[in-house]
Structure 1
Amino acid sequence: MPHHRHLTPSPSHEEHETPNPSLTPPPMQLAALASDEPPPPPPEQSPRRIVVAHRLPLNATPDPGSPFGFAFSLSADAHALQLSHGLGLAHVVFVGTLPAEAARALRRSDELDRHLLGCFSCLPVFLPPRAHDEFYAGFCKHYLWPRLQYLLPQRAGGQRIPPLRAPGCTDPTRRRTGASPRASSTCALPGRRRARVRARLPLWLLPSFLRRGCPRCRVGFFLHSPFPSAEVFRSIPVREDLLRALLNADLVGFHTYDYARHFLSACSRLLGLAYTSRHGRVGINYHGRTVLIKILSVGVDMGLLRTAMASPEAAAKFREITEVEYKGRVLMVGVDDVDIFKGVRLKLLAMESLLETYPALRGRVVLVQIHNPTRCGGRDVERVRGETAKIQARINARFGGPGYQPVVVVDRAVPMAEKVAYYAAAECCVVSAVRDGLNRIPYFYTVCREEGPVDAKGAAGGQPRNSAIVLSEFVGCSPSLSGAIRVNPWNIEAMAEAMHGALTMNVAEKQARHVKHYTYLKLHDVIVWARSFAADLQLACKDRSTMRTIGMGIGPSYRVVAVDAAFKKLPPELVNLSYRAAAAAAAAGGGGRLILLDYDGTLEPTGAFDNAPSDAVIVILDELCSDPNNVVFIVSGRSKDDLERWLAPCANLGIAAEHGYFIRWSRDAPWETMASKQLAAAMEWKAAAKNVMRHYAEATDGSYIEAKETGMVWRYEDADPRLAPLQAKELLDHLATVLASEPVAVRSGYKIVEVIPQGVSKGVAAECIVSAMAARRGGAPGFVMCVGDDRSDEDMFGALASLCGGGKNGGASSSTTTTTALLAAAQVFACTVGNKPSMASYYLNDKEEVVDMLHGLAFSSPSSRLRAAAAPRRPADFDIKSLLRCE
C-alpha cells in the first residue's frame, strides 16, 4: 500500500514517542492548552477541552495522491466528535490513535501532526504494533472487557498479568494501557492548564499519568462499559491499581446507578474509602480531594441523524426496503457488534420460538440483524459468527420459503444512511445484550421512527408516529426507556412473548410509549450530556484555587493529595528551632515544653494484633521524658490498664486514658479523674449500651465489644468493609435513641462506635494538662507538639487553637496573653498523621515519620543518651543534619 516515507523510530524510543511540543494550533480553531506556567490567554478565550479516546474521530482512506498516502476526514458518527458538539468544537482537541490501516502504514512526523492538528484538531499518538496489541487486543479486549461483563476465567491458568511497575524503561503499565504516550502528548500541548475530558476503557490508567505531568489539570473520566459487582471486580489481579487510577480523576461518570453503586462498593471493599451524598451528588474523599460520581446516560446526536435521514441515499434505501425487499412484511431490526455479550444468539432463538408458537406470523415477520464491523478479531468473534449463521440457516430452512426468509443477517459495513432507513422502516427494535454499557441503538431507532421518511410511521395520513422496543434489562439505556418492553434475554420464551407483544400492540399504546421515549431523547441528547458533564467537572474543581497539590507514590499507585494552602508538612528546621528556644526559655524560668501524642495510628498501627509499643518507641519516649524541660503525655481512648501495662518502662511519661477521663502524670503518680463523683457513679447506662452492641456484634462477623471503666466500644476493623460501615451507622443511631436521656456522648471513630460520658474528650484533657502544667511550673509551656490521627484528636487540635487565641494553630506566636489564651505566646505545632483535611496546620505521612520526628527531637537534646548510641536511628525526614543545623 502506498504511503509517504517517514523515518521509523528506533525500538528503544518507541515507548516515548510524543508530538513536538512546539506545535501550535491555529488561533481561530484552538485555544491555549496545558502547561504549568504559561502566559495568560486572551480574555475572550474559554478553557480548552482535550478529549482522549482510543481512536481519533477520523476516517482514513488510502489515497496515493495525498502527501501522507491517506485522505483524512472527520467521522461524523464517532462518539468523541459528537461529544465535542456540547463543548464547543472550536475549543476541543482530540488525542488518540489513527484508524487501524493508517496506524499500521504511517509513522509519526511533525508534518502529519501539524496537518491533523490544524485541519481536524486531532493529535495522533503512535504506539508500536506489539505494544498496541498487548494493551488493546491482549489486556483490554481479551482480559479486562470480559471481566467487566461478569465473565470470569473458566480455567485455573487463565491469562497471566505481569505486575504493574513504575514507568521508566520497558514496563507493562505503558504497554497494556497505552496511557503514557497519550499523557505525554496531552501534556505537551502548548498553552495554559485547562480542563480535560476523557473517556473510553483502553485508557483506564491515563488519569494517573496526567496527574504526574499536570497535577492541577481537570480530568473527567466517563466509563462507557458496565462496572461489575465488587465480587467480580476483585478477581482482577490489578484491581487496586485500576481503582486508584480512576480516583485520580476529578469526575467519574457511569451510565446507570447500578454501575456507580458497584464502583463505590469496590472502592469501599478494596481501598477502604467511604462516600458521601450531598445535594443529590455523590463524592468519594480521596487524599483530600472529592471525586464526584456522575450518573447520566449518553444521548444521541440529533443533528447527525437528521442529516443522515435527509440524504437521498436514506430515502432511496427506505423505498427499497418498504416497496421492494420487504413489501407487505412486518420488519424487526437489530444492530449489534459481533460480540459474545450482545446476545445475538439468544435473539435468533427467540425469533425461532416466536415463529413456532405463533404460526400466523410465518411469512409476515422478518428480523433483519445488522452486524457492525469488528474492531478486534479472535476466536470469540468467529464463534459468534458461526453460531449466528447456523441458527439463521435452521430458521430459514424451517419457516422460510420462496421469496421469504424470516431472518436476514447483514454482515458488512453498513453506511449510516442505510441504517437509518432500516430503523425508520422497522415496526420493532430488538436489543438482547446480556451485558452492555453504551448501547444507543434504541435511541437511534426512536429518533428515526419520529423524524424519518414520511411513510416510516407505519401509517398514512400524517398520523402520529409510533415505535416498539424489546430491550434487555441488562443494557445501560434500559432505565431511561420506561416505555420499552424489558426482558431477561436468557429467558427465550419470555423474549419471544415480548416480541409478539410488540408486534401486536395497539397503535395508541405504541404511540404513547413512543412519545415518552422521544420526549426524553430530545431533552437528553449528546449535547446536553456533554454540557452537564463539563459543568459537573467544573463543580468538582471549584475549590482548586484554594488547594495545594502534592504528588505521592510511583507507577500506578501515584496519586495527588490536595491540602489547604496553609496546610503543610511539619518542617524539621522550624520544629528544632522552637524546641531549642523553649529549652532556653525554661532555663530562664519559662514553662518548658509539652508533647501530646495519640497512641493508636500515631505510635502504633491501628487494629494491630498486639498493640504494645515497639522497643524503639519505648526508648524514644523514655528519652524525651528524661529531659526535665519536657512534659510528655500519651492521650488515648485506650483503657488505663492497657496503657499502664504497655508504657510501664517510661517512668516519667504522663498518660491520659479513656479520652482523658483518667490522668496520671508519671508512673508513680496516682490516677486522677477528670469528671465529678456524681458522673463517675452514674454508669448504669453501660448495661444498656452493651446489650445493643452485643446484637450488632453477633450480626457482624469480625466485630467485637471492648468494655472500659467509663465507656463501651464496638470495634469493626476486622469486619466486612461493606457491611460493617452500614452496621456502624445504624448502631450510632440506635445508641443515640436508647441513651438519649443518659449523660453520655455517642461517637464514631476510625472503625469504632463508642459511648463515653458527656464532657469527656481529648480536647478537655489537653486543656486540663496545659492549665495544670502552667500552675505547676509557674507559666504556660513555650513549645507544644500535638500529634494524632483520627476524629477524637481533632478535639485536641481545636482546644489548642482556642488556647492560642482562637486562630488556627501552627507555630505563629502572639505578643499578648490572656487567661483563656494560655498558649498565645507559645509555638504550637498541631500535626495530623496522613495528608487529609484537619484542624491541624501540619501533617506527617505515617506513624514511621512520627517516630522519626520524635527520635530527632530526643536526639537534638545536648544531654541525649541517643547521641552515645553505637548505631543511632537516623530518621528519614527529620534527619540529624536538619535537627542540628542551628547548633
Structure 2
Amino acid sequence: MSKTIIVSNRLPIKIIEEGDHYTLQPSEGGLATGLASIHAEGENSWIGWPGVSIVDADQRAYFTSALKKKRLVPLFLDEEEIKGFYEGFSNEVLWPIFHYLPSYANYDLSNWEMYVRVNEKFRDLILEHADPDDTIWVHDYQLLLLPGLLRKVLPEASIGFFQHIPFPSQELFRLIPWRRELLEGMLGADLLGFHTFDDVRHFISSATRLTSTNNNSNRLEVDDRTVFVEPFPMGIDSKRFSALSSEEPVLNRIAELKANFADQKIILSIDRLDYSKGITQRLEAFDLFLEENPDFHKRVTLYMVVVPSRDTVPRYRELKDQIDRLVGHINAKYGAYDWYPVAYFYHGYPVEEISALYNVADICLVTPMRDGMNLVSKEYVASRNDETGVLILSEIAGAAKELIDALIVNPNDIHDIRDALLNALNMPTAEMKKRMKAMRELVFKFNVQHWATLFMNKLQETKNVQSTTKARLVGANIEQQIIDQYRRASSRLLLLDYDGTLVGFQDDIDKASPDEELYQLLDALEADMHNHLVIISGRKHSTLEKWFQGRPYSLVAEHGVWTKEPDADWRLKSGLSNTWKEEVSTLMESYADRTPGAFVEEKSFSLAWHYRKVQRDLGTLRAHELIDNLRDYSAAYGLQLLDGDKVVEIRSAEVNKGRATLDILHENRYDFILSIGDDRTDEDTFQALPTEACTIKVGTEVSAAKFYLKRQRDVRVLLTKLVASNKPPVTQ
C-alpha cells in the first residue's frame, strides 16, 4: 500500500542538548500542526534534520531508534554541512533574494556545493524508505533541488513541493548564479504550492524565461509531464488558539498582565529577529506617533517580543543593536518613572504566554517588509473570542491577501503606520467587532488542516490529469495504432497545417519556407495513390504558390479563402467583402507602432497582427488590448477574431478551416483521415471531422483533438513512419 513521506529541513521533534545528554522536545510551529493528521495516517513517515549535530555513531543509532517509533526519520548533519547548507546558501543567498534584499546575498561557490550535497543526502535517505508509487511532500527553500533529484530515480512517484517563504520576481531570482538548477529542481514536483498568487506568478515567470518550460496559465509542460502551480494560503490551528484563551494558566497570566498595564492600551509586536520583519521601521513609526500624539503618553504601551535568531551573524547582530538603540531612545525620550512606552523582551516564550499576550493586546502590529504568510496575524485573530481587538497588517505579508478587514499599511511608510495606530486606538467598538468577526470566520474556515487537505487533494488531481494526458500522448502504442489504421486504409485524407506543424516557428514569417527534407517527405506521401494530401494553412495564397508551385498537393490558403487543386488555378471563395479592412487596418497599425517587433500582415480577406519578435509579456499584453478593441468591429461587420500563437487575426466569419474541411469531405469519401495542427484555427478542423478521424494537436493536450504530440519535430517523425509503413492496403 502506498504511503506519504513528508520531507522538511526540520523534524516536528527536535533533539535538545542539555549538558552532557540529549532529550527529545516537540517543535512548535504551524507546519508540525498542519501535517500532524497526514503524518498519523497508515505507515506515513517524516524525514528531516533533528536540529542538532550528533557525531557519535551510538548516539545517532539511539535517536534513530527512538524517533522510528514515532515514524520520524532523522537526517544527521555535521557542523560543516549545517554551516554551508543551512547557514550559508539557504540563509545567505535564498533568504535575502527571496525577501527582496539582494545586497545581503553572498554567492559563495562552496556553500552552493554543500547545498547540492545535502539535498542529495536527503534524496538518498528518502530512497531508503520510499517505494515507486509513494507520495512525497517536500517543504521549503532549503530543499529546492530535492524534487528534481527524486524525479530522476522515482519517475512515477507523486511529488509535491510547498514554499513557505515568498518567491521573488524573475528580475531578482535571475541574480542567483545557479538559478536554472534551482528551477529544474523545483520543476521535478508534480504540484508546486505557494502562499499567494503573486508568488505563483513570479515562479511561472522565472520558469518560462529561464528554462525551456512552456505554460498555459498555471499549467506548465515539463518534459512529458504536466506540472501545476497553485496558491495555497496556509492557515493555523485556529481551534487550538481559541481554546488556549480559556485555559486556566492563560487566564491567570491575562489577569497579571492586565493588572501590570492597567488603564493602558497594549500594542503587541511579535517577531523573530530578522531584517525582513520591519522591526526598526515599526519603532520609528511608534516614535512618530508618540511625538505627534502626546495625549496618548502613559495611555499606550508597545509590548515588543523579539525572538533570538542567528544573532552571532554580523548582520543580525547589527540589527539587534539598532533595535536596542531605538528602544532606548524612545523610552528615554518619552518615558517616565511610572511608564515605559516600549516593553521590550528579547527571548522566546511558550505558547501559553503568547496566547495571554494575544488576549490582552488591544492592537496587534504586524508590519513585515516581506513575508510569505505571517501566522502571528492569524493567531491573534483566532485568540480573540470576544471579537475585540484591531489587527494592523503589512500589505506585503501574504496574510494581507486574506485578512482584508485588517488595517492594511505600507511597512515602509512610517506615516501610514502612525495613522493606522491612531485609527485603531480610536476605532468604535461596533466597527472593531465587525472587522474581527469577518476575519475570524475566514481564519477558522481556512485553517491549517484545510490547507493540508487542499494540497493533497490537488496533488492527487494532478496525477490523474497526468495519467489522462499520457493516455492521449502519441507514444509507442498509439503511434502503432495510427500506422496500422493507415496501412489498412484504401482511401486516405491527410490534412496538415503548415506553421508550427510541418515547420517550426520563425521570428521572420518569410523565413519559414520548406526545406528539402520536408519536400521529400510530402512528395513521398503524395506519391501513394491512396493518399489525398492537403496543406491547410493561414498563409497567403501567393506564399503557398511560391513554395509549392508545381507540387501535386491540394492547398488551402488563408483558412479557406483560397483553394487550389493540383494542375488547377486558385479559386476564391465567393460572397466575401473587404469593406472593413481599411478601418481595422488603421487600428492594428497603431498597435504595431507602439509595440517594437510587431507588424500587420494583410491577406485577401483578413488582417493578422504578428508579435513573434515582441518581448514576451509585452506582446501578450498588447494582444489582449488589441482583441478588446477589435470586438466592436467584429460585431459590427460580422467578423471572426482569432487569438493564435503569437498572432491576432480578424477575418470574415464565413471563412475558417472547419468550413474548408467540410467542403473537402463533401467531395470524397475516406476510410482514414489524419489531421495535424498546432493552432487555435486548427480546432475548427478537428471539430468538423467525423469522430473516427485521427486528430492530433501539436504542443498541448488542451484541444478537441484525440491525441497530441509534444513538439513540432515529432510530426515529421510520425509522417516518416507512415511513409515507411507504406504497404498495399489489406483487401477486405
Same fold (TM over 0.5): yes
What does 1:93-172 align with in structure 2 at a 5 Å threshold? 93-102=44-53, 112-119=63-70, 121-126=71-76, 130-153=80-103, 159-160=106-107
Question: Paired residue for 1:74?
Answer: 26
What does 1:400-799 align with in structure 2 at a 5 Å threshold? 400-402=335-337, 404-450=339-385, 466-505=388-427, 509-541=431-463, 543=465, 547-548=467-468, 562-564=469-471, 567-569=474-476, 595-609=494-508, 610-622=511-523, 625=526, 632-648=533-549, 651-666=551-566, 669-673=567-571, 675=573, 677-679=574-576, 682-732=577-627, 734-740=629-635, 742=637, 744-766=639-661, 768=663, 786-799=675-688
Per-residue deviation at 1:343? 0.8
Letter in 1 for 2:397: V
Question: Paired residue for 1:33?
Answer: 2
Contact 1:300–1:521 at 8 Å: present in 2 too?
Answer: no
Cα deviation 1:683-702 (Å, max 9, x = unaligned): 32333442343343345443
RMSD: 4.2
- Alignment of 1:333 onto 2:234: no
Secondary structure at 1:349 match in 2: helix
Secondary structure at 2:398 match in 1: coil
Contact 2:89–2:115 at 8 Å: present in 1 too?
Answer: no
Contact 2:494–2:674 at 8 Å: present in 1 too?
Answer: yes
1:522/1:784 CA distance change after superposition, 3 Å: closer
Q: TM-score, normalised by structure 2?
A: 0.84
Contact 1:363–1:406 at 8 Å: present in 2 too?
Answer: yes
Per-residue deviation at 1:327? 5.7
Contact 1:634–1:656 at 8 Å: present in 2 too?
Answer: yes
CA distance in 1 between counterparts of 2:479 and 2:503 reads 22
What does 1:263-302 align with in structure 2 at a 5 Å threshold? 263=203, 289=226, 291=228, 293-302=230-239
Out of 684, 692, 697, which is 1:807 matched to? 692
Secondary structure at 1:678 match in 2: coil
CA distance in 2 between counterparts of 1:262 and 1:391 reads 35
Question: Paired residue for 1:203?
Answer: 143
Contact 2:213–2:221 at 8 Å: present in 1 too?
Answer: no
1:599/1:283 CA distance change after superposition, 3 Å: closer
Contact 1:50–1:94 at 8 Å: present in 2 too?
Answer: yes
Contact 1:309–1:417 at 8 Å: present in 2 too?
Answer: no
- Structure 1: which 5+ runs fail to align? 1-31, 35-48, 163-169, 277-281, 451-463, 549-561, 583-589, 775-779, 810-829, 863-887
Letter in 1 for 2:515: S
CA distance in 1 between counterparts of 2:258 and 2:192 reads 44
Cα deviation 1:439-485 (Å, max 9, x = unaligned): 122333344454xxxxxxxxxxxxx5632333222222224334433
1:300/1:713 CA distance change after superposition, 3 Å: same
1:517/1:290 CA distance change after superposition, 3 Å: same
Contact 2:472–2:706 at 8 Å: present in 1 too?
Answer: no
Per-residue deviation at 1:310? 2.6
CA distance in 2 between counterparts of 1:857 and 1:525 reads 56
Letter in 1 for 2:633: V
Contact 1:86–1:528 at 8 Å: present in 2 too?
Answer: no
Per-residue deviation at 1:298? 1.6
CA distance in 2 between counterparts of 1:355 and 1:218 reads 55
Per-residue deviation at 1:386? 1.7
CA distance in 1 between counterparts of 2:288 and 2:587 reads 57
CA distance in 1 between counterparts of 2:625 and 2:387 reads 51
Cα deviation 1:797-845 (Å, max 9, x = unaligned): 445x51xxx3353xxxxxxxxxxxxxxxxxxxx4443462445455444
Secondary structure at 2:69 match in 1: helix
Question: Percent same amino acid at aligned positions?
Answer: 27
Contact 2:608–2:647 at 8 Å: present in 1 too?
Answer: yes
CA distance in 1 between counterparts of 2:638 and 2:417 reads 62
Letter in 2 for 1:224: H
Letter in 1 for 2:411: P
Secondary structure at 1:791 match in 2: coil
Contact 2:98–2:165 at 8 Å: present in 1 too?
Answer: yes
CA distance in 2 between counterparts of 1:143 and 1:573 reads 50
Per-residue deviation at 1:58? 0.7
CA distance in 2 between counterparts of 1:103 and 1:257 reads 40
CA distance in 2 between counterparts of 1:574 and 1:513 reads 62
Out of 271, 284, 305, which is 1:349 matched to? 284
Larger displacement relative to structure 2 (626-635 or 336-345): 626-635
1:594/1:503 CA distance change after superposition, 3 Å: closer
Secondary structure at 2:635 match in 1: coil
What does 1:24-63 align with in structure 2 at a 5 Å threshold? 32-34=1-3, 49-62=4-17
Contact 1:336–1:370 at 8 Å: present in 2 too?
Answer: yes
CA distance in 2 between counterparts of 1:833 and 1:372 reads 55
Secondary structure at 1:342 match in 2: coil
Contact 1:139–1:176 at 8 Å: present in 2 too?
Answer: no
Contact 1:104–1:129 at 8 Å: present in 2 too?
Answer: no
How many positions carry a matched residue from both structures?
Answer: 723
1:92/1:683 CA distance change after superposition, 3 Å: farther
CA distance in 2 between counterparts of 1:108 and 1:664 reads 83
1:737/1:426 CA distance change after superposition, 3 Å: closer
Contact 1:260–1:295 at 8 Å: present in 2 too?
Answer: no
Cα deviation 1:326-356 (Å, max 9, x = unaligned): 5665433211111111111111212222332
1:251/1:846 CA distance change after superposition, 3 Å: closer
Secondary structure at 1:409 match in 2: strand
1:429/1:728 CA distance change after superposition, 3 Å: same
Secondary structure at 2:275 match in 1: coil
CA distance in 1 between counterparts of 2:530 and 2:429 reads 91
CA distance in 1 between counterparts of 2:556 and 2:78 reads 63
Higher-helix-fraction structure: 2
CA distance in 2 between counterparts of 1:518 and 1:576 reads 61
Contact 2:311–2:317 at 8 Å: present in 1 too?
Answer: no
Secondary structure at 2:546 match in 1: helix
